[in-house]
Structure 1
């Protein structure tokens, strides 16, 4: 049994301008700690206008079974929700992740973002303890609004008192993704992508929908499992979510601890919206991971930022009026 992976990728707008370099860090870490043979395919899904450039940059990762996918060929529904207030890149990337269940040939696939990187050696047995997806559990109450929004959309109790899978990186089941697709289509009599795209004002997330539906069907323990005794967690116990004053977020992150023998997690995140430069990150990781950053065009557009800000403000105003 091999594992697939999905990686939604944007390189234009907001905090996406350095995502090629972040991908270089991700693939360098996978190359160092796991190797390309672990993966059946790694799908990198990009907007249509970034497709050719992404194919060029992906040559640096050609030792992996990378397939660059043009959004327009698999996500035609995106074109029908193009009013500024309807375009929510965060939701579209989540739809791409859920769609992987129909795009890969393996039961399990990893979900990556460009700001993820591996910390220690792992293989199929590590990721699939007892043949089930290694899962990092956290309290649902930490992100209550997402669980409540997804519970309302599915018509189920969010059970905030319970724990559930944490965010990217994670492992998902293709079977459970397809089950969610069917549930949404049965419930709303419409294609599942359109159901979610039409609810751009609702704070549903891919993982909360996925988990709540699997819970409703009683299938969580069939497809998901915690690590076996003595094995590492999927996530490190500390990632970098904020830049901090004078870059202290990364400066205080103990690379030797997380990449050394005492580390407890397979992956960490240095969140892209911290705007910490990939060069600075690569320097931090260099004593532990050989990293090569390729040259790339940096699309840092004030116009794109303004469009995305206008989109967010429009949704906020519409939400306020609806109340």
Structure 2
């Protein structure tokens, strides 16, 4: 029984559509981050399906080309696929809503990829407890959540009308994530084509869903039920069952309760491997990520500390994990700084306080060819300590690594962008340090640190508060969540211009 996983997504299509890009990519990272903690498999192909113009951005932000896929272990073979490769007919329907396209793509996926079953994900799904993918979804009786038909009566009625079936059951298929069986999808296509004498996808894509609000899952389940394949392929799990794919009780479906949504400790003892924080509610993706990280840190500290972000010496794996998270928090700000850069340009970046160089290397890999944004980064990693020089130069061939005090470089070299993540808290004279960094850039200086920390510890000697921000006069101030240290409060990212 072959099983694969599938995530349809649309990041952005309009250059400069920055906010949507940032929110959606954070959701995908949160999903991958959660799977890296809890999902176990002997091996699975994980297909991320998107418009062609989004492929570069997704591969870059998720680290697909570097083989890391945002922390997922090597057993997850993540591939980014053009949606029109899966469904070439989408080109004939340019004005169909993206959500409708994604539903059709899900139905097409098992046949296109040649797998018996396809686990379907959306970007707003979060894994909240350990799950054996092969056991839950790969056996002869795959787990399938069902819920009352009455909760979505109009969907079931519309799909039944299209298929000319009745709805003789009280409970039907639930929501994403779920599992689609290829044989049932094939039966659905055949049924639609027999009734309407057109290709199944033309029938669905040309139907006005305002009048007939079919959904991919209701069409699928009705076909499977009436063909007898549902009962052959699945063990169904009702809302109050002891084993569920989704913990419906803890999901966020609407704006009501959005500001107070959380993941309480009790989840680990409740049925349901996943929850959903629906993106359509408008809840901030960063807030969802922080809520998830705090839950993991509180309830699964050992698993949390063993996140397989990189395969390197055990001595440095935790430090590297933190450095990559630091750099990931900076990526949206770097993206913004590069948004008006000339095309096919090599941009020189200095990363100050680079330590092992893991974060610097992640940045270099994120912009490693002249595709998509047409920009490539040459990254210089700098640290005042000699300690990690040999390690960095051995492991990271994509960066230059230098050991010196930044002030010794003033008047000698300049870079297009300078970054300093979680370093300004440690230096004896932070304002002089900022001034020195501004003299090293021709473009922007981006500094990130903990904000207004009350109890300085672990060598930090400076409290970066509002008065410091006012004195140093950044051109942009952004408050954000801290992916690496969620328990220590929020961070501030300060962007400065250059100084002659």
TM norm structure 2 = 0.53
8 Å contact from structure 1 (residues 4, 39) kept in 2: no
Structure 1 unpaired stretches of 5+:
299-323
Q: 2:161 maps to what in 1?
A: 152
Q: Identify the match of residue 281 of structure 1 among 282, 288, 294.
A: 288
Residue 19 of structure 1 pairs with residue 29 of structure 2: no
Structure with the greater alpha carbon radius of gyration: 2
Q: Which residue of 1 aligns with 2:48?
A: 44
Structure 2 Cα separation of the partners of residues 47 and 38 of structure 1: 29
Instruction: Name the structure 2 match of 1:217.
Output: 227
- 1:46 Cα deviation from its structure 2 partner: 0.4
Residues of 1 paired with 2:139 and 2:237: CA distance?
Answer: 9
Distance 2:140 2:103 in 1: 25
Does residue 241 (structure 1) correspond to residue 262 (structure 2)? The answer is: no
Change (3 A) 1:124 1:280: closer
Determine the C-alpha separation between the residues in 2 that align with 1:209 and 1:49.
30
Cα 1:128/1:11, change in 2 over 3 Å: closer
Following superposition, the deviation at residue 56 of structure 1 comes to 2.0
CA contact (8 A) 1:115 1:269 kept: yes
CA distance in 2, matches of 1:70, 1:177: 21
The answer to whether structure 1 residue 104 and structure 2 residue 113 are counterparts is yes
Q: What is the correspondence of 1:127-206 to structure 2 with a 5 Å cutoff?
A: 127-128=136-137, 131-159=140-168, 162-201=170-209, 202-206=212-216
Greater helix percent: which structure?
A: 1
Tell whether the 8 Å contact from 2:258 to 2:283 is kept in structure 1 after alignment: no
Deviations 1:250-286 (A, max 9, x none): 524343121x2x2211110001112222221122122
Shift of 1:230: 8.5
Larger RCO, structure (CA 8 Å, separation 6 or more)? 1
Query: Secondary structure of 2:147's partner?
Result: strand
Matched position secondary structure for 1:268: strand
Separation (CA, whole Å) in 2 of partners of 1:38 and 1:92: 31
Structure-2 residue corresponding to 1:311 = none
Shift of 1:105: 3.5
Tell me the distance in 1 between the aligned counterparts of 2:291 and 2:262: 9
5+ residue gaps in structure 2? Answer: 297-303, 308-324, 337-500
Q: Which residue of 2 aligns with 1:271?
A: 278
Q: 2:97 aligns with which of 88, 109, 128?
A: 88
Q: Relative to structure 2, which stretch is displaced further, 231-240 or 203-212? A: 231-240
CA RMSD in angstroms comes to 2.6
Structure 1 runs, 4 residues or longer, greater than 4 Å off: 13-16, 227-231, 290-294
Q: CA deviation at 1:227?
A: 5.1
> Is the CA contact 1:10–1:47 (under 8 Å) kept in the aligned structure 2?
yes
Separation (CA, whole Å) in 1 of partners of 2:92 and 2:134: 42
Aligned residue in 1 for 2:130 = 121
* TM-score for the superposition, normalised by structure 1: 0.80
Higher strand share: 2
